[in-house]
Structure 1
């Protein structure tokens, strides 16, 4: 259970503060080095002005050599400070982005309250693009400060030549930033909306890919394509809007900076013509007017990047602040305990009562598929205990008082639509690489023929979502993964619907053999699996309507016979 100090940030501003606090050291060093870079860049025209000034007064080779040496020092400082400053900042940026990606992925993999409308495609976008954009704040702040240093150095140098020139730079910078800060708010709002629409488009793609085969089956390809095109078009239109706003912002920033540079140049020229400043000061002023364009440009772009980072941080907060499906309890279930369902009412379940003894193999024949799905969701802790009546107990302890992690260590609920991941057969069956049941799981799930088909065996490559496997092979691979976990309590949901009758018969016997002595519950209508179970519970109208062995029920229950006989 997380302590208050380790609670994830709930707002975008808090995420940005956390990122800044974790990288104070790197940002300080980066600010110092980038400040040296900007100061060196700005010192270059100052040095040129001084060279002209003193060369005109003292035409000795020694003065010229000293001036050239000073320029070499400035150039070296500029080169090294930029190199090492950006190295420090980009390393911190990359590391921070990695931290947020991991944290978003961790939260995204946990079940959250059903009221939170976050799809897997959206979480993917947030964990990649938004995490990177949020971490950019690590570079933005030092660059903002270093740009300010350059502007101040230029203002002071020009002020020493003539106070009016220094004031012109300071006042002009304040005016430029005031105008651009107003425009940056529009960018932040537009960017946040664009990110939301791109995330929705990503979620739509993920949904369509996962349902591609069923869509092919009933000819829904065109309708799905039209649906995605609509969402993608909305994202494109918003992207065009953001690009337009960014273009206006960049154009305005460039124009304002150019106006300020021209004003400094013209003012310095007028002062030199009037004899109020020297030729060396004029050269310095003209040079600074040109060099100041870069820090001013960088300085004026920072508000935009701050708003973009904040918009991304707000998107990340949607995931990090999503309430868990249930508040973890302090207790841990005892190993090898029984499973008891006491008066559960939820969805299609209407006061369900049943008990599975420790080590028993029970099959549940659900006449309504929704009832089986609701039952499996509760056991998988995908439904908050407050959302259903009654109690679920493992080893005599109520599910509501147990840690979700502890429940899942003891009980594995394998869904009928379990995902297949890109990798190999081995990594799909044993992701952690620690299972001692790998050979038995492969044999029990009848995956041996798939392994034997390929020279690489278990190291045969599997494409994303098992695209290079048949439906039956994917189902057997998922079953092998569940059996390899070797959990104390295993719940399977229709594990043999995509295999032929002969294979189904062998799998049913193998499950009973491999799981002997450990609690197993299987939701199924397969006669082979029902016959292999120690006991069959008939789930009808949300309650247990009958229980016995499969063969006794076939002989005595006509409704059961009609439902499961093939």
Structure 2
């Protein structure tokens, strides 16, 4: 059975609703292999585009030939009908030239953008995977998902444009041979020599361009990290220090850019001089042959036109192929380090959540400063843990499998161990809602309707989190856009929506870390009253110092740093 394929209309520039899917370039053992696999993965689009590039270059090469024949027909033979025929061929050639440019550019761009989308999705999945590194800064992640993916997929153009440029050199040299054997030989021999010379001259520029790209990535990453942590920096009044560090990074980027641009200017001038001398030499040789009668006027125009035409693919080949390839390998190396991390697990099927009510046992877990905690939570209990500050954060991160455990320490959800190295199974049974209420950019409903949520609990979850009042004041209710991080909502509104999001998931074990610090006392009392009814029969842990929430619990653990805290309130 054949899989559905997207239907692509070149005439209308449209794609059917069937998604365009390209072969996955992973697994790849080396950066070079990843680049090759990404290039070959776009062959469905790159090969037709390369064919269009070849036809385009052939049509370009035919322009001076047709013009030369038209001039000879009109000037030498005085054949008006022959001139009209050649001019008609020239029009047909230009029409074909325009169509193949349109087709090749559109098709090649579609393949590159599709591969870029797939790789960016893979990178995002890896960055958000439960086992992903937690020490990677947002700016670094942003550079991987944008700059490095873009530079890697730029290599797909090497299957298109260099093919056409090589065809132009071969076809142009052959046409020159038909006009004049000495000139044709000079071009076919001189073009590769010129290509090698240009490549040697361009190597320092490629090294500087790679340094420039790395510096720009560092600067953009530093800027993203600075903006992401602006509130924290403002809180500790460290804006000046952070700004000074960013200025240093930006200044280094500026110096790298200026060095690269200065070298590029010199290289451009050198390339222009070398190719210009080569063109002048061919033109002088063609002129001497014309004076001797070995070339007609039309032949002279053909030779000069073909020689000038060949300069573009020769210089483009030297400027583009090696820099694009080396930049793609550098980005592929960074992406491979990310995408190859625990690849089997990252691409495995998600673990199905447990449906039973489960107990929780915490044994000998260090909360910092040598204080250790022991907990035994029975199935279906609503337990309040009166803990605050860094100890509360440490306990929440431990339960969320984001904090390594010391030797001898353990956390069990039912019979499943919470392990930062393999967190998927435990997270399918226990949801830890952090104190920081961070929402996704989208509507309120989109933030609540996450994969695995219970739609039948949506209304009661909103009421339990006291979001019914929030929805009444929001302009579009559930369809209100909350903005990046929920910044269009107030702190209390954002916290209540985040609480409703945790409740509607209905996990067997739910851990809430200070879920009501941004709401008023009346709202907090409503949440404390409604929460036990919604979570009845489900295990719930409240890490809080709120008297109202603690009063609603089945039991309260007042001093979790004690040696054994399995007793009642």
Q: Tell me, yes or no, whether TM beats 0.5.
A: yes
Match of 1:296, SS state, is helix
Match of 1:363, SS state, is strand
Q: CA deviation at 1:145?
A: 0.8
Query: How many residue pairs were aligned?
Result: 542
Runs of 5+ consecutive residues of structure 2 not aligned to the other structure: 1-23
- Which range moves more in the overlay, 506-515 or 344-353? 344-353
Match of 2:190 in 1: 172
- Which range moves more in the overlay, 28-37 or 289-298? 289-298
Match of 1:353 in 2: 374
Q: CA deviation at 1:486?
A: 1.5
2:496 matched to 1:476?
yes
Match of 1:560 in 2: none
2:512 matched to 1:492?
yes
Contact 1:155/1:166 (<8 A) preserved: yes
Structure 2 residue aligned with 1:512, among 519, 532, 553? 532
Q: CA deviation at 1:35?
A: 0.4
Query: CA–CA distance in 1 between the matches of 2:225 and 2:433?
Result: 20
Tell me the alpha carbon deviations over residues 300-331 of structure 1, each in whole angstroms, 9 at most, x when there is no partner.
33223333333333343343234589888998
Q: CA deviation at 1:463?
A: 2.3
2:227 matched to 1:209?
yes
Query: CA–CA distance in 2 between the matches of 1:190 and 1:103?
Result: 29
Match of 2:521 in 1: 501
Contact 1:361/1:521 (<8 A) preserved: yes
Contact 1:420/1:466 (<8 A) preserved: yes
2:93 matched to 1:69?
no
Match of 1:365 in 2: 386
Q: CA deviation at 1:46?
A: 1.8
Contact 2:364/2:408 (<8 A) preserved: yes
Structure 2 vs 1, CA of residues 471 and 454 (structure 1 numbering), >3 Å: closer, same or farther?
closer
- Which range moves more in the overlay, 294-303 or 429-438? 429-438
2:103 matched to 1:84?
yes
Matches within 5 A, 1:208-357: 208-303=226-321, 304-323=323-342, 334-336=354-356, 337-344=358-365, 352-357=373-378
Query: CA–CA distance in 2 between the matches of 1:324 and 1:499?
Result: 42
Contact 1:111/1:324 (<8 A) preserved: no
2:158 matched to 1:140?
yes
Match of 2:5 in 1: none
Query: CA–CA distance in 2 between the matches of 1:440 and 1:190?
Result: 60
Tell me the alpha carbon deviations over residues 476-501 of structure 1, each in whole angstroms, 9 at most, x when there is no partner.
22212111222121112222223333
Match of 2:18 in 1: none
Contact 1:493/1:524 (<8 A) preserved: yes
Structure 2 residue aligned with 1:415, among 434, 440, 443? 434
Query: CA–CA distance in 2 between the matches of 1:8 and 1:436?
Result: 41
Contact 2:46/2:108 (<8 A) preserved: yes
Query: CA–CA distance in 1 between the matches of 2:468 and 2:497?
Result: 10
- Which range moves more in the overlay, 75-84 or 531-540? 531-540
Instruction: Give the TM-score, by structure 1 length.
Output: 0.85
Instruction: Give the TM-score, by structure 2 length.
Output: 0.85
Match of 2:395 in 1: 375
Match of 2:35 in 1: 16
Contact 2:354/2:428 (<8 A) preserved: no
Q: CA deviation at 1:183?
A: 4.8
The two structures, once aligned, show a CA RMSD in angstroms of 3.3
Tell me the alpha carbon deviations over residues 168-188 of structure 1, each in whole angstroms, 9 at most, x when there is no partner.
223332233323434554444
Query: CA–CA distance in 1 between the matches of 2:435 and 2:423?
Result: 21
Runs of 5+ consecutive residues of structure 1 not aligned to the other structure: 551-566
Q: CA deviation at 1:209?
A: 3.4
